[in-house]
Amino acid sequence: MKDLIECAGRTGAEFEIYSRSLETKAVNIENSELKGANSDMSSGISLRLVKNGMSGFSFTRNLIDPKGLVDNAVASLAAGVEAKFSFPRTRECPKLRTYSDKADGISSEELLVEGFRMRDLLVKRVKAQVNTRVGLFISESRIINSAGTDITWKESSVEKSGSIVSGGGSTYSVADCGFDLHPMPEASLENITRLFEADHVEMRPAPGKHKVLFMPRAMNTLLWRVQSGANGQSLHQKITPLEGKTREKIFSDILTLRNNPLNDAIPGARAVDDEGVPCADFPLVDKGIFKGFYYDLNYAAKTGVTPTGHGFRRSVWGGDPILMRPQPYLGHLYFDKGEKTFNDLLKEMGKGIVVFGALGYHTGNIANGDFSIGLSLGLYVEGGRIIGKVKDTMVSGNIYEIMKRAVAVGCDSDPAYANNPPVLFDGVDVSN
C-alpha cells in the first residue's frame, strides 16, 4: 500500500485509494435437505485520480504491480472524462456499530445448526417445500486520499432466511439479519406458516382500483423509482419528474422517507460514504414534502451544490465495489414507522391485496415513476382478513400518484429490508 500511495502521489494528481477485503460463508438447505456449504474470499483495490479537471480510474485484485495500477489510471485520464471535484479531507466521523467480534469465529457448522433449526420449525408446521439459508459476511474497507483522509472500517453481518414454497411456486419467506449469529425468532417463522394457510384458496380480484398494502419485501417497487427521481444525476440529466419540486408536497403527509446510514441498529451503517464524505440522516420526504436531491462528489460539483454523502460504489442493481466508481445511491432508505399493526392495516384495508413479493419491480419506465408488477406472492383480503392467494394479477401505477394516496403506515419495520414498514395505498390499478 505504501508503494501505491507513493506512486500515485508522484503523478501530481489528486488520488483516492479504496480497498476492500471480504470473506463469506453460506449454507443453504433446499427442500429440507442440505444443498450447499461454500466459502469465498476476495479482495481488491481501486484507484481514482483527478488531474486538470479530468478523472482516471483503475482497479486490481492483487496489488502485485502498484506502478501498473497507477499507469492504468493515468492512461484513462487522457480519455477525457471530466471531473470538477476534489477529494474531501475527513478526519473525524461518528463511531458506529458495524461489526461484532463474535462474527470472526463463526463456523460453517454453526451456520448449519441455525439453518437446520429454522428448517425443523417450519417442517413441523407445514407440509410443503421448505428452504433455509444462513450467510456470514465479514469485510474490511479503507479509503485513503491525497487530501489526508484515511478511514478504515470493519463490517459483519449474518443474514438468515426461511421460506415455504407452494406447489404453484409462490414463496412465503421471512428474513432476518444481525451483526453475529442469533437465532431467527420462532414467532417470525410461525408468521409465514400462518400466511401459508391462504395458499389453498386462489382468488382473482375484479380488475379496477383497489387498496394495496406493500410489505417491506416488495417495497423496492416504490423505492427504486424514488431513488431515480431524487438522484442528483437524474436532475443533471433532466429526466426527473421532481425537477423544481423541492419543498413541494409530493406524497401524503403521513409519509416520511429518509436515508439514514447512521442507523446502526442493523448491519450496514456507515459513517462516511465510499468517497469519504460524512454521512447524515437525510430526510428525502418529510411529512409529504420533498426536501431535495442527493449527490455524490461528481454530480454535486456538476450541479454546484454541496455533496450529501451519497457517493457509493454500488447501484440498485448491486455491484462489486472494487469494479465500480462511486455514484449517487441511497443504501439506507426507509419510511418512518406508523402506528398500525399488520392486523390493523388489514382492517383498515377491508378489501384489497397485500403484496409480499413483486415480479418485475426492476423493469418499466422507472424514470417516470411508473411500475407494473406481477405478484410472486399476493394475498387477497376481504372483511379485514386474508382469505386467499391472488392469481395471475398485475398491480400498476405511478409512485407520484399513489404516494399521495397512502392511507396508513405499519408500526413494524423489517431490518432485513432496510427497516421499512408496510405501507397501505388506496386506488391502485389491478388487472388480470
> Whose Cβ is closer to another protein: residue 341's or residue 365's?
365
User: Using the rule CB under 8 A, is 205 a contact of another protein?
Assistant: no
> Whose Cβ is closer to another protein: residue 169's or residue 383's?
169
User: Using the rule CB under 8 A, is 341 a contact of another protein?
Assistant: no
Segment near another protein (CB under 8 A); pick from 51-59, 193-201, 277-285, 304-312 = 51-59
Segment near another protein (CB under 8 A); pick from 142-150, 155-163, 269-277, 388-396 = 388-396
User: Using the rule CB under 8 A, is 411 a contact of another protein?
Assistant: no
CB of 60 to another protein, least distance (A): 6
User: Using the rule CB under 8 A, is 41 a contact of another protein?
Assistant: yes
Q: What are phi and psi of 48, to 5 degrees?
A: -120, 140
Strand order in the sheet with 333-335: 289-290, 282-286, 257-259, 333-335
3-state secondary structure 382-429: ECCEEEEEECCCEEEEEHHHHHHHEEEEECCCEHHHCCECCEEEEEEE
The single residue among 126, 316, 367, 411 that binds another protein, judged by CB under 8 A, is 367
Q: Which of 331, 355, 27, 313 is nearest to 159 (CA)?
A: 27
Element counts in the chain: helices (H) and strands (E)? 9, 20
33 CA to centre of own chain: 29
Cβ proximity of 171 and 164 under 8 Å: yes
User: Using the rule CB under 8 A, is 112 a contact of another protein?
Assistant: yes
Q: Which residue type does 289 have?
A: I
What's the CA gap between 60 and 23, in Å, rounded? 17
Provide the 10 A C-beta neighbour count for residue 120: 14
CB of 350 to another protein, least distance (A): 20
> Whose Cβ is closer to another protein: residue 264's or residue 320's?
320
What's the CA gap between 190 and 194, in Å, rounded? 6
Which residues, 246 to 275, sit near another protein by CB under 8 A?
Answer: none
User: Using the rule CB under 8 A, is 364 a contact of another protein?
Assistant: yes
Segment near another protein (CB under 8 A); pick from 219-227, 233-241, 273-281, 411-419 = 233-241
The single residue among 363, 385, 387, 412 that binds another protein, judged by CB under 8 A, is 363
CB of 260 to another protein, least distance (A): 28
> Whose Cβ is closer to another protein: residue 131's or residue 419's?
131
Segment near another protein (CB under 8 A); pick from 89-97, 249-257, 277-285, 319-327 = 319-327
3-state secondary structure 171-193: EEEEEEEECCCCCCCHHHHHHHH
Q: Which of 13, 11, 38 is nearest to 27 (CA)?
A: 38
User: Using the rule CB under 8 A, is 407 a contact of another protein?
Assistant: no
The single residue among 360, 405, 407, 427 that binds another protein, judged by CB under 8 A, is 360
DSSP 205: P
User: Using the rule CB under 8 A, is 76 a contact of another protein?
Assistant: yes
HSE value, Cβ hemisphere, 13 Å, CA-based, for 429: 10
The single residue among 15, 18, 57, 334 that binds another protein, judged by CB under 8 A, is 57
CB of 367 to another protein, least distance (A): 5
Segment near another protein (CB under 8 A); pick from 53-61, 155-163, 271-279, 410-418 = 53-61
